[in-house]
Amino acid sequence: MSAIEIVGASDSLSFRQRWSHYLVLIFGLVGFIIAVNLRDGALNATTLYINAQAGIRAEYPQNWLLDEEGDYIFRVRDLSQAGFNTTLQVATRPVSSITTTRNVLDALTLGRSQTLGYTVLSEEQYILPDESTGITMSYTFVVSDPNPFLQGVPIVVEGQDILTIKRGQAIIISFISDATTFDENLPILTRFMSTLEF
Amino acid sequence: MTAFDSRFITPPKEEEEIYPYRRVWSSIIAESGVMVAVAIIIFLVTRFVEVPRRFYPPIGVAISLIPVGLWIGLSWWRERFVPQPRTKLVSVAIISALAANAIAIPLVEDFLQVDKWLPLENAINRIIGYTFTQGLVQSILTYLVVRYVAWPDNFRVRLDSIAYGAASAVGYATILNLHLVLSSNPSPDIAAFRIFDALAVQLAVNIIIAYGLSEVRFNARPFPVLLVATIALASFVSGLALPLRSGLTNAALEQGIGSVSPIRGFLLSAAILAGVSFIFAFLFDNAERQDAETAAQSE
């Protein structure tokens, strides 16, 4: 077998060689923009939820599991997450004309006081997308498997309730996530709140 | 009586031309062949021997380092015994490994977050997604490393591009494999198959890119789109391999008994490497023949 060795031709690149490399760099840049666009499109994709009876319209993350069977209007969970499934929940409570958000928060705290490790972290004012005022409460608790024969380490969960009173009912929007990924997942709540209409 | 002297009746013996470079294809075949054998042996041994879970990480790391060992023994070491050794192989392998660890893994896992959204997509979207994320990052990094470390001064013959591509593949794949075994702690048989899968696909991708780089280096009038076309094809092959392999390996959600079959994914990776090598060996051979004809005509 013979070998053809070309030596000394590499000092300067020809026009075609230069453009071959430029095109690769352009392709890399365009491809990267497409990749970021695909990522954003998939991660921020939403599904529309409308409940005419409760007068609620919202967009929740695509591929999350919708559930309307509990004591809430609806709940969506990210079942693709290992461990605790990040959850968004919208619930309502009837209130009287003299009930304040403070009363509702205290009732929620009392109701959850038997939950393992339940601790309120903070309470502060919250401005809703329609510029009405609400209140937000951050808390933490521990989730463990109810089956004592299953092996596993309990999970520390962090939650945030956003509460407002409208049309004679308290609307409670809860966002609950594994404490280790709570901050990372918090933009999901922000996006959800920006689409929520009630 | 006269003594018989064979020199009178046989033609004079021609001096055999010494090929001055290490033969690249034979090294790739030997390295891949040994890796296939290692994966199959580990798979068969683990059918009979139960490996305690605490030994998974050290065994995984050891298997991850086998491709480097094979490359050192069958490629780098053999360069020492040829008249014209390739000098930048180790640099290309190390820089590829560093690029994989410092750029590719953080970019794909932390920035593009492919694990969060691509596994949930349908098959076509997964192929497109992996092509533009994992495949593109892999191809562009390989191109940049070989382009700026070895090209064009260390490309003396067309097959130099394959040698540097293989060196890059080993460095890059080793980091991906170490990351895999240290983060997900797979059993030795799964680790062996996954390590071969990563190496085989990386080798196939780099062979495609090597063809583009060699054409731009040696063709007197290279078609400017050819190199970018090879990078795009390499990205696509990488993007195609991952979802196809997952589809073949993972158990299907169906009635009856579904089971995980890593051997199907392993066979797919081997088929991709064999197919790409066969096609591009033909293209390299064809290009060299054209070079020889052009050289003969100009003399």
Q: Is the pLDDT of residue B258 over 60?
A: no
Question: Do residues A27 and A105 share a domain?
Answer: no
Q: Look at chain A and report how many structural domains it folds into.
A: 2
Question: Do residues A29 and A55 share a domain?
Answer: no
pLDDT digits (tens, 9 = 90+) for A117-153: 888 898 888 888 878 888 999 999 998 877 777 777 8
Determine the distance in angstroms separating the CA of A61 from the nearest CA of chain B, rounded to an integer.
11
**Phi, psi (deg, nearest 5) at residue B298:** -75, -20
Question: Do residues A68 and A143 share a domain?
Answer: yes
Question: Do residues A21 and A89 share a domain?
Answer: no
The answer to whether B171 and B96 have CB atoms below 8 angstroms apart is: yes
Question: Do residues A27 and A55 share a domain?
Answer: no
Residues of B in contact with A6 (CB under 8 A): 156, 218
Confidence band for B226, pLDDT divided at 50, 70 and 90: very high
The answer to whether A19 contacts B129, with C-beta atoms less than 8 Å apart, is no
* Residue A58 domain flag: yes
Decide which of B170 and A167 is more confident. Answer: B170
Q: In terms of Cα–Cα distance, which of B253, B254, B175, B238 is closest to B203? A: B238
Question: Do residues A17 and A107 share a domain?
Answer: no
pLDDT score recorded for residue A5:
56
- Among the residue ranges A71-85, B49-63, B86-100, B274-288, the one predicted with the least confidence is A71-85
Q: Which residue has the tokens 């003396």?
A: B156
Residue B258's alpha-carbon distances to A82, A159, B248, B249, in angstroms, are: 22, 38, 12, 11
Question: Do residues A61 and A92 share a domain?
Answer: yes
> What number of residues does chain A have?
198
Strand partners, A170: A93, A165
Question: Do residues A145 and A91 share a domain?
Answer: yes
* Residue A73 domain flag: yes
Q: State percent of chain B over pLDDT 90.
A: 63
The answer to whether B75 and B164 have CB atoms below 8 angstroms apart is: no
CA dihedral B129, B133, B138, B144 (to 10 degrees): 130
* Residue A7 domain flag: no
Bond before B224 cis per omega within 30 degrees? no
Question: Do residues A110 and A32 share a domain?
Answer: no
* Residue A94 domain flag: yes
The answer to whether A192 and A88 have CB atoms below 8 angstroms apart is: yes
* Residue A6 domain flag: no
- Please tell me if residue A52 touches chain B, with a CB cutoff of 8 Å: no
Residue B103, C-beta contacts closer than 8 angstroms, at least 6 positions apart:
B137, B141
Cβ pairs A/B, distance under 8 A: 93
Q: In terms of Cα–Cα distance, which of B146, B137, B299 is closest to B212? A: B146
- Please tell me if residue A1 touches chain B, with a CB cutoff of 8 Å: yes
The answer to whether B228 contacts A24, with C-beta atoms less than 8 Å apart, is yes
Q: Element (H or E) spanning A164, and its range?
A: strand A155-166
The answer to whether A4 contacts B235, with C-beta atoms less than 8 Å apart, is no
- The SS3 assignment for A66 reads strand
Instruction: Identify the domain containing residue A144 by its residue range.
Output: 46-195
Strand partners, A75: A67, A89
The chain B residue lying nearest A78, using CA atoms, is B116
- For the record, the structure tokens of A24 come out as 């690769």
The answer to whether B133 contacts A28, with C-beta atoms less than 8 Å apart, is no
pLDDT score recorded for residue B211:
95
* Residue A168 domain flag: yes
Question: Do residues A19 and A84 share a domain?
Answer: no
Q: What is the pTM of this model?
A: 0.82
Of B117, B152, B222, the CB nearest to A42: B117
- The SS3 assignment for A91 reads strand
The answer to whether B251 and B259 have CB atoms below 8 angstroms apart is: yes
Most confident of A162-166, A185-189, B65-69, B245-249: B65-69
CATH number of the domain to which A98 belongs: 3.40.1000.10
The chain A residue lying nearest B160, using CA atoms, is A5
pLDDT score recorded for residue A62:
86
Question: Do residues A39 and A90 share a domain?
Answer: no
Residues of B in contact with A10 (CB under 8 A): 152-153, 155, 217
Determine the distance in angstroms separating the CA of A40 from the nearest CA of chain B, rounded to an integer.
9
CA dihedral B181, B183, B184, B186 (to 10 degrees): 20
